[in-house]
Structure 1
Amino acid sequence: MKTKKVLILGGVTEGYILAEALADQEGFHPISSLAGRTQHPRPPVGETRIGGFGGVEGLRAFLLEGAIDAVVDATHPFADTMGQHAALACDQAQVPLLRLERPAWEAKPGDRWYPVADWEQAVALLQTQGARRVLLALGARELAPFSALDDIWFLARTVTRPDPMPPFAAAELLVARGPFSLEQELDLLRGHAIDTIVCRNSGGEGAAAKLTAARELGIAVIMRERPPRPKVPVVASVESVLDWLARDA
């Protein structure tokens, strides 16, 4: 039986789970690709490569030269550039592509969510809402647009330390990696008297506790909506990927 080489474009927990599952199955050779933006990333099971491909042409060449049989796009919901490149490169190389994407969060009764399309809208909304103490639950590279708001105090929680830290007039940096429990999030929001949270609609259970805590405390949430992705087959679970690989790829 021919061993199928599966390129996993990683970035979320499900990509790690998929690599482990494929490594345990006979007939599959997983190759996980990480963008390299996180310092000291946890290596997935199996073969791993770190760094970009060099755009669509670079990815297409990698697929052809490496005789890749299938690609699973398990990048973060907001990694839209990589998603576009994958769709174009796979189409050109005639390699099957599947998107593994966790469902987006949906507002529940009691939530005070304000959807925005970009951070400029979020900045404007903070001003019109009269926010005073804000939790920025964002990536280290996404803080800069908010640093111009000198009449708001920010708690910036990031997984990695910003380099450099944007010039906030009043801010505290908290470098911490989740998941966080509901009790931890409630303590954080209460302890810092947060009145607004700014975050992305990443989905998943690991980062959802802050939304439950905001609901319980009546805190507003400015939620950046996911960017559009290419029209490719999409599944929400690793099990569905395994079924697709066994059947279609």
Structure 2
Amino acid sequence: MLILGGTAEARALAQVLVERGYDVVSSLAGRVERPRLPVGEVHIGGFGGVDGLASWLREHEIAAMVDATHPFAARMTASAAEAGARTGVPSLVLRRPGWREEPGDSWQRVPSLEAAAGALAAPMRIFLTTGRRSLPVFTPVPGVWFLARSVDPPSAPVPDNVRVVLGRGPYTIEGERALLREHRLDTLVTKDSGGRLTMAKLAAARELGVHVIMVDRPPLPPGLRLADTVAEAAAWVPG
């Protein structure tokens, strides 16, 4: 079994399958300095595109592949879909459901990071949780101040209008509420990652009347088999 991982769901699925006696290899992109490692064998780094992944699947005689990468890892998902089709390896995409707006929320959905940056205007104070690699998209916006949270520090230099805070979920509503109040943040910019580990910021924003700019997920390639939960993915794995 190959699990394209890096998510909590990927780690949970690896645990279930190893306990069932499967030979599991989990692949991590290697973008996080100290990733949470799943049980079983771990492959860190890319495969060399579609051709490299297809060759790897054949060489390692992979019987089935589950793409449990982050919902915004569009390039990896597209490569996995094509490699699976080329090799005939049965493939499944495991994606936790996205977040849904609730009563009291003030959300603005946008299709991309660039569209989110285009929705900003001075004198906003932004809680930015879209990842350290996205900073260059947002920081040129004049007159806007950012509290940017990421697992690892962004590449230097960090602009003067950005304060970086490091953190890794799960977060609490109390902690997120305190962060929003301490820094007088009026807008949250985030990706629709879904899941419970990082959703506390949405509840805190709702309580405090903080506006949310929500970046929608990229579309999945057509024709993929999709599972919403670890249990559903585990039930799909060939016996």
Question: Given the two structures, how large is their TM-score scaled by the length of structure 1?
Answer: 0.93
The Cα RMSD (Å) is 1.2
> CA contact under 8 A between 1:131 and 1:196: conserved in structure 2?
no
Aligned match for 2:88, one of 94, 102, 113: 94
Deviation string 1:213-232 (CA, Å, 9 cap, x unpaired) is 11111110011000011231
Distance 1:228 1:133 in 2: 30
Q: What's 2:153 paired with?
A: 161
Which letter maps to 2:59? E
Aligned match for 2:108, one of 79, 96, 114: 114
Q: SS at 2:233's partner residue?
A: helix
Q: CA deviation at 1:122?
A: 1.1
Q: CA deviation at 1:150?
A: 2.9
Distance 2:125 2:233 in 1: 42
Distance 1:32 1:17 in 2: 11
Aligned match for 2:203, one of 212, 219, 233: 212
Q: What's 1:51 paired with?
A: 45
Q: SS at 1:186's partner residue?
A: helix
Q: CA deviation at 1:165?
A: 3.9
Q: SS at 1:143's partner residue?
A: helix
Q: SS at 1:148's partner residue?
A: coil
Regions of 4+ moved over 4 Å: none
Identity of aligned residues (%): 45
Matched, 1:235 2:239: no
Question: Given the two structures, how large is their TM-score scaled by the length of structure 2?
Answer: 0.96
Q: SS at 2:201's partner residue?
A: helix
Q: CA deviation at 1:246?
A: 4.0
Q: What's 1:139 paired with?
A: 131
Matches within 5 A, 1:1-249: 6-26=1-21, 28-127=22-121, 130-166=122-158, 168-231=159-222, 232-246=224-238
Comparing 72-81 with 156-165, greater Cα deviation is found at: 156-165
> CA contact under 8 A between 1:131 and 1:195: conserved in structure 2?
no
Distance 1:131 1:106 in 2: 28
Q: CA deviation at 1:40?
A: 2.1
Q: CA deviation at 1:131?
A: 4.8
Q: SS at 2:72's partner residue?
A: coil
> CA contact under 8 A between 1:150 and 1:170: conserved in structure 2?
no
> CA contact under 8 A between 2:123 and 2:143: conserved in structure 1?
no
Distance 1:55 1:208 in 2: 32
Distance 1:12 1:37 in 2: 13
State how many pairs are aligned.
238
Distance 1:13 1:213 in 2: 22
Deviation string 1:164-197 (CA, Å, 9 cap, x unpaired) is 244x342211011121100001101011110000
> CA contact under 8 A between 1:30 and 1:46: conserved in structure 2?
yes
Q: SS at 2:232's partner residue?
A: helix
> CA contact under 8 A between 1:103 and 1:203: conserved in structure 2?
yes
